Chains A and B, each alone.
Chain A
Amino acid sequence: MAAATDDAGDSNEMIRVVSSDGEHFEMPEAAANLSLVLRHMIEDDCADAAGIPLAVVAAKPLAKIVDYCTKHAAKSSGLTIEEAEELKRFDAEFIEVDTDMLYDLLVAADFMGVEGLSKLAVQRTADLIKGKTPEQNRETFGIVNDFTPEEEEEICKENEWAFQITKPPSRLC
């Protein structure tokens, strides 16, 4: 308990976590603290040598999350402009993943309460779907259209302009 509540600079201690499929990972305590769930577990003294079990996070996304937290924990306070830009570049590259991994990260980051990563994955998903049609979104998210054809037509008719996805040829600069 004392170790966990000591000053925050004591981040040399490694925290072990276990994925749903039984793989073990290690990260500095400062990195683990970026996850709300892990921080609470550490505060409650649940971080032991056996590792904190994460029942809903598989090894593949967990490896990514450990990477993310380790990188961000190392550069958390007093960033110079260059360091902030480097971290931004890291984020941009980090989130260049296939859709399966993106879904995993979305759900896992939300579950583990890693705020920065949640936002990153959410914004990336929004970027990917913003130009899609409603039907494409239903497919992507496995949603069944529960509107009657009449209801759907009415909604589309109300805002016809929003369904024209092609951009007008107006580049001004």
Chain B
Amino acid sequence: MAVKRCADIAVSARPRKVMRVVINSWSRFLPPYIPDDVMFSILSWLPSKSLIRFKSVCKAWHATISSSRFINAHLKCSKQRPSILMVPGAFEKQKNGNNIAFLMSLYKYQDTNIMHLQDFPQGICKWIRPVHCNGLVLISTRKHEMMICNPSTREIVSLPKGSRSLCDGMGIGFGFDPHSNKYKVARAFYQRDDDTSRHACKFEVLTLGSTAWRQTEDPPYPIDSRTLALEIWTCSVGQNPEWTRCCTVQIPPDLVIKHSIERHPLVVFHERRLLLASYKVYRYDTRTCKMEKIASTFQDFTCYDSRNSQYRTFLKKEVMDFHLFNYAESLVPIREF
């Protein structure tokens, strides 16, 4: 029976009667038989790493785990188990103290455990804070190079380069559009306006799977990193997107990192709240307009050193930048879009 089950993928059509016979007799004669829909649910609750390993169990499991129906079900379960992706970054120094590369690592924080997910051993230079959607993470650099990675499957795909910008790109968005069933990257950039010869903020969108960026309506307000107040605008979906202003948030001074360039804190929407984080974490309620500080437990972080295969702990001072955001691990493939 078990042999047959393994070879047969579409088992949902199996008559209930056959199953009953097996259930009644398994305890004495046969290994346990689990109905396929139950097995499907069990697999849905497994971590991605286990699932990738279990693809080698048998052909039926391989087919199930690879199917888009399963990937969606698994993502749904994953979203019910809250986790945070932590991205510490630090300069790798030479003996003479010069910086040679900026290392970036991904860690997952879940149930008070911190798991190492992925490193970028070659280093990623001057990266902008990653953006997350359905287990996919958009990583981009100040030089406008972009890639999407899935830390749970370790798939990495480089994106086509966007329009040239006169300023370092800071305004980047990444999300899933349920209307077209596609993932989209949105990007603000600056061009010189021919009439006024001033910098004009433009907006373009890349649909994953396509090769070209598509320019859309300009944002109503320039997207700038050197500001002490945030303006939250929303854009409606549809043929003629409209921008609406939600609120203005004053950024507490201790959230602005004073480097050669000032960096504004990471801003994450969580229901009707905003999380603002750099070394400190603040919470802002958009309804009551209240800002409060959250105690942060992340004091220092480790980074994987590929040369001697060891984990090094970086003191807070050495970590140049640190991000965290809500994360749901998934098996969502990047290349198939």
- Whether, in the assembled complex, B297 has its beta carbon less than 8 Å from a beta carbon of chain A, the answer is yes
- Whether, in the assembled complex, B38 has its beta carbon less than 8 Å from a beta carbon of chain A, the answer is yes
Residues A122 and B41 in contact in the complex (CB < 8 Å), given A100-B27, A141-B34, A173-B112: yes
Asked if B46 and A129 sit within 8 Å, CB to CB, the answer is yes
- Whether, in the assembled complex, A70 has its beta carbon less than 8 Å from a beta carbon of chain B, the answer is no
Asked if B46 and A173 sit within 8 Å, CB to CB, the answer is no
- Whether, in the assembled complex, B231 has its beta carbon less than 8 Å from a beta carbon of chain A, the answer is no
Chain A-chain B contacts (Cβ-Cβ < 8 Å), number: 127
Give which listed residue, B3, B20, B114, contacts A172 with CB less than 8 A.
Answer: B114
Asked if A134 and B302 sit within 8 Å, CB to CB, the answer is no
Asked if A145 and B58 sit within 8 Å, CB to CB, the answer is yes
Chain B proximity of A41: nearest CB distance (Å): 16
Residues of B within 8 A of A169 (CB): 311
Asked if B35 and A107 sit within 8 Å, CB to CB, the answer is yes
Residues of A within 8 A of B107 (CB): 170, 172
Contact residues of A between 124 and 154, Cβ < 8 Å to B: 125-127, 129-134, 137-147, 152
Closest A residue, CB atoms, query B43: A126
- Whether, in the assembled complex, B260 has its beta carbon less than 8 Å from a beta carbon of chain A, the answer is no
Residues A134 and B53 in contact in the complex (CB < 8 Å), given A122-B41, A142-B31: yes
Asked if A155 and B311 sit within 8 Å, CB to CB, the answer is no
Q: Chain B interface: which size bin?
A: 35 or more
- Whether, in the assembled complex, B229 has its beta carbon less than 8 Å from a beta carbon of chain A, the answer is no
What are 24 A-B interface contacts by the 8 Å CB criterion?
A56-B20, A118-B38, A118-B41, A127-B45, A129-B42, A132-B50, A137-B54, A138-B57, A138-B58, A141-B34, A143-B6, A143-B58, A143-B61, A144-B6, A144-B58, A145-B58, A146-B3, A159-B53, A168-B304, A170-B107, A172-B300, A172-B301, A173-B114, A173-B298
A interface residues (Cβ-Cβ under 8 A, vs B): 20, 55-56, 100, 103, 106-107, 110, 118-119, 122-123, 125-127, 129-134, 137-147, 152, 155-156, 159, 161-163, 165, 167-173
CB-based closest 10 A-B pairs: A142-B31, A126-B45, A162-B52, A142-B2, A172-B114, A155-B56, A122-B41, A103-B32, A130-B50, A162-B53
